[in-house]
Amino acid sequence: MGFGTEILFILMLGLLVLGPKQLRTLLGHVPRAKAQLDEASRGFKSQLAAELDAAHREGKTDTSHELLENSESSSDPRYRNSQPTG
């Protein structure tokens, strides 16, 4: 089944279970819920970026060592045998 076929199946099932009025009401809430989710996601991302910037400015983050340790098992040759600077 393709993505469109699955959506159509879900809508037909919803129509049978809920009926046309309740399905229409439910589908009316979907865009609002998606907008709220997008807004929350943007807020989370901006707050995370602000916290990381603040921690970086204060010198509290030195993730280069952690990244290098985690990447030693990486298959990317750029990260093999890298020595942390610091």
Nearest-CA neighbor of 67 among 54, 83, 53? Answer: 83
18-52 burial, b at 16+ Cβ within 10 Å, e below that, comes to: eeeeebeeeeeeeeeeeeeeeeeeeeeeeeeeeee
User: Residue 11's pLDDT is what?
Assistant: 87
62 three-state secondary structure: coil
pTM, rounded to two decimals? 0.47
Residue 74 pLDDT more than 80?
A: no
User: Residue 37's pLDDT is what?
Assistant: 95
Residue 86 pLDDT more than 50?
A: no
Q: What is the mean pLDDT of residues 43-59?
A: 87
> Which residue has better confidence, 84 or 29?
29
Residue 84 pLDDT more than 60?
A: no
